[in-house]
Amino acid sequence: MQATQRNARVGARFGAAAHHYEAHAPIQRITAERLASDIARLNLPARPRILEIGCGTGLLTQALARQLGAADWTITDISPAMLATARSGPALPGTARYLVLDGENPQVLDGEYDLICSSLAVQWFTDLNAGLGRLAARLAPGGYLAVATLAAGTFAEWQDAHLAAGFVAGTPPYPPCQLIRPAMSNLAGGVRSERLIQNHPDGLAFLKGLKGIGATTPAPGRPPLSAAALRRVLAAFDEQGATVTYHLAYGMWKQSTQRPAGVFVTGTDTGIGKTLVSAILARAWNADYWKPVQTGVSEDPGDTDTVAQLAQLPPERLHLPAYVLQAPLSPWAAATLEDTVVDATSIVPPATTAPLIVEGAGGLYVPIDDTHMMIDLIARLDMPVVLAARSGLGTINHTLLSVEALKRRGIPILGVVMSGPLSAGNKEAIERFGDVRVLAEIPPLAHVDAAAVAMLAQSIPPLEECLAALGGAPAVAD
């Protein structure tokens, strides 16, 4: 009952601000546009069924309409006034319904959705992860849950000003990014973060902005400050520079569907050791191997032969590439030189009874054809990723950029394999800041042969254990 009453108070305060909300919402506008851009990269069906939670005045709604086009829209908000403002905006392409709804309790809705999304609304949930879990239960198979919310570190300057004045701020407690995850669900995906800093003339302008958007409900049990106390806090805040940090968390998760057990091996760069990693995984997991697009056969025999030798795979465990190109270039560039047409949408994984190791060409943003890159193929194949990375200087930046790109697409990351001289510091940084697991470290090898691969395979965790950490192991065909 208390949570319901608090949600009603939150809705009432936002409703009172509906007519002037957007004049005070630059951060909200930026966040909505960036979330919409992430969503536009997803592999959504034509005319998707979309549920938006906490639409406010329609910033995300309209950004999505521009990006996605026609859809079956269900637009909701806890505030009737906000919902009415959103509804008065430009007509949405497709069909649209507008519902007053407490997004933390969506059980009253019927049907399933290809996309459930929310921009800067779910941070008001009484229990964020539980609420996200209830939303996840409304996803169709293969559907996406995409949210932008506030994370720990938001309003740190305002909180510091309270402490300097001898008080505790009434701002709600926001969770660290790594703890944001839909409860009781089998979603795969993750959270990426971003910090935006907003400058204000002074503390009064900051408070006026919060009031302008209706974000004035304090954390439970935090009474408002007296006028004298507030003046002390404002003085401390102004002395610090009157800036405020928003720590934004963008969560992107996909409802698991039955898919072949296995992984897609990609890298932070070309020449990163993907083929060796693929051979080690194939040996460790007794898996089949498939390279969908092979380039550079004019100079080398091809990665399929290399993996076969290193992992000691029999012919029946090897699957022919969909495309074989001569030049040691990206598939798109090689196909252009060779007057060949490559179509990424025609690439279909082979039927297997064993786990399947799929090795990509180059890194995530290597073009395959005129309109698709390697990351598009990974998303369409719906397989978790093992990311091959160097261990040395520069790997933190390259690896974290690749991790963030995968998270933006809701692509699950099984783990990272680092190759080169061991670096405990780089390993710790990648795990800490990427919120990913380093599955293995491959030291420099005197001989890269089947014996070395067999030895390294012994240190790889079981595939079932790795998949279970993503929220449920997929099925293997009988």
The CATH number linked to 180 is 3.40.50.150
Q: How many domains does the chain have?
A: 2
| Domain co-membership, 69 together with 203 | yes
For residue 183, being part of any structural domain is answered with: yes
| Domain co-membership, 197 together with 328 | no
User: Would the pLDDT of 5 be above 70?
Assistant: no
| Domain co-membership, 72 together with 184 | yes
| Domain co-membership, 324 together with 461 | yes
- Residue 262 confidence (pLDDT): 87
| Domain co-membership, 192 together with 272 | no
| Domain co-membership, 30 together with 134 | yes
Per-residue model confidence as pLDDT tens digits over 327-352: 999 999 999 999 889 999 899 898 88
| Domain co-membership, 85 together with 216 | yes
DSSP structural state of residue 114 = E
| Domain co-membership, 422 together with 403 | yes
Annotated binding site for Mg(2+): 275, 359
Residue among 208, 211, 291, 407 flagged as catalytic: 291
Annotated binding site: 271-276, 295, 359-362, 443-445
| Domain co-membership, 173 together with 61 | yes
Coil, strand or helix at 461: coil
Question: Which of 229, 255, 281 is where one domain is finished?
Answer: 255
Q: Which of 2-6, 236-240, 355-359 has the lowest mean pLDDT?
A: 2-6
Q: With 0.85 as the threshold, say if the pTM is over it.
A: no
| Domain co-membership, 31 together with 113 | yes
- Residue 151 confidence (pLDDT): 96
For residue 153, being part of any structural domain is answered with: yes
Per-residue model confidence as pLDDT tens digits over 259-299: 557 899 999 988 889 999 999 999 999 999 999 999 988 87
For 355, the domain range is 262-471
Mean pLDDT of 221-238: 90
| Domain co-membership, 222 together with 307 | no
254 belongs to the catalytic site: no
